[in-house]
Structure 1
Amino acid sequence: MMPSIPPEAPEKPAATLASSIGHIAATIDAEHFPSGERAALRRLSPDAPPSLAFYRFAFKHLPPDWEAQRNAWMAIVSGIALMCPRPHRPDRAAGLALAEAGYSEKRLERLLAAEGDTLHTLLLRAVRFLAAKNATCNWVQFARLLLSTGEEKREAARLAIAREFYRNHKDHKD
């Protein structure tokens, strides 16, 4: 007889990015998720080594290949934790959320042109901006921006964010 999995055991994230992001957001935002762990995830920084809280979370909830892009996943997890409660809204484009919150074109330009750890840092700044405005968005779009490795895919991620930003932009400047 196979041992049964206790009901409190976390489900493994599914294979698609959208389902992985949904799982991560639901887990971090869950009422029973320890507030100390959520706070530790909020404090993750691209220029610091991962905390034990990140490793505990990563090995339980991130896709199996997360280690290949550890810093990008740290930024995703930290950003989702920063935007709690209700960090992920699949029906609300990231560019729309940035535009409606008054994010400036100059900041968007820097964000979309950035690479590597600079991208992670600037994305977390954008997330803090959204969190301060109690805004939420589709985290899959931010994840694609961070995780896309080919130039064509990275450009498609940039374009998706820029498209929704400019469709909804109200001439905010720095």
Structure 2
Amino acid sequence: MENERTDIPSGPGSSALTDVARNLARIINRESFPSGMRAALRRLRPGQVWPMAFWDLALAHIPEDLLRSETQERQWAVVMQAMALMAPVGQAGIGLGTALARVGGDTMRHRLMRLVQSRDQGLEDQIRLTARLLASHDQAVDQTDFARLLLYPGETAVRVRRELVRSFLSACSKAAACPKPDAPVKAE
């Protein structure tokens, strides 16, 4: 089945985090989700006091152990912002690497590498940019990948990044949509 995910890492807390992120994506992408709340989530900025839309969702749907620190609050705010930016394109079972490959081109190869090589604030910025880019191409994605990139620690985070690159390259090779690094450049 094309939309079935087999690249989701397992480990301590991974199932809970994935379930929470999937539930948030489902809620934010609902047609009945208040447009004012979605707009507030889209306007989130680092360093600001999070709007009530964030707190309403966070306190109702994120377990306390996944929302203990200011860093976790900021990371969940970025995840919710990416989800809101993607609406109404929506949630799909298509992994982030595959979704970027479907959009195609050298730009996506560059975007993916920036995404998987970034850390901390840089990663948060790259997630926002990637969500905007995918939404502008009407490309749905499994939005839980945004949470996996930001919230998984250590070796699990490394596995997530590697799997994103693998899924991107696999989708590119199947569709012949992405140029190879050693492919000749066509003169115009």
Band of TM-score, shorter chain: 0.7 to 0.9
Structure 2 residues without counterparts, runs of 5 or longer: 1-14, 173-177, 182-188
Distance 1:118 1:47 in 2: 14
> Offset at 1:34?
1.0
Matches within 5 A, 1:131-142: 131-142=135-146
Residue 90 (structure 2) pairs with residue 84 (structure 1): no
Count of matched residue positions in the alignment of Structure 1 and Structure 2:
157
Structure 1 CA distance for aligned equivalents of residues 24 and 133 of structure 2:
21
The reply on whether 1:20 has 2:7 as its aligned counterpart is no
Contact 1:46 1:121 in 2 (8 A): no
Return the letter of the residue paired with 1:127: A
CA RMSD between the two structures: 1.9
Mapped to 1, the partners of 2:45 and 2:125 lie a distance apart of 8
Conserved? CA contact 2:89–2:135, under 8 Å = no
Q: Which residue of 2 aligns with 1:127?
A: 131
Q: 1:161 to 1:55 in 2, by over 3 A?
A: same
Gaps of 5+ in 1: 1-14
For the pair 1:66 / 2:67, whether they are aligned, the reply is yes
- Which runs of structure 2 are paired with 1:1-174 in the superposition (5 Å)? 16-64=16-64, 65-68=66-69, 69-90=72-93, 92-102=94-104, 103-150=107-154, 152-169=155-172, 170-171=178-179
8 Å CA contact 1:95–1:164 kept in 2: the answer is yes
Judge which range, 43-52 or 28-37, deviates more. 43-52
Seq. identity, %: 32
SS in 2 for 1:87: coil
> SS in structure 1 opposite 2:90?
coil
Distance 1:86 1:19 in 2: 20
What are the superposed Cα offsets for residues 35-79 of structure 1, whole Å, 9 maximum, x if unpaired? Answer: 000111111123544223212221122232224311111111011
What's the CA shift for 1:16? Answer: 1.8
Measure the CA separation in 2 of the matches of 1:144 and 1:82: 17
Distance 1:57 1:127, change over 3 A: same
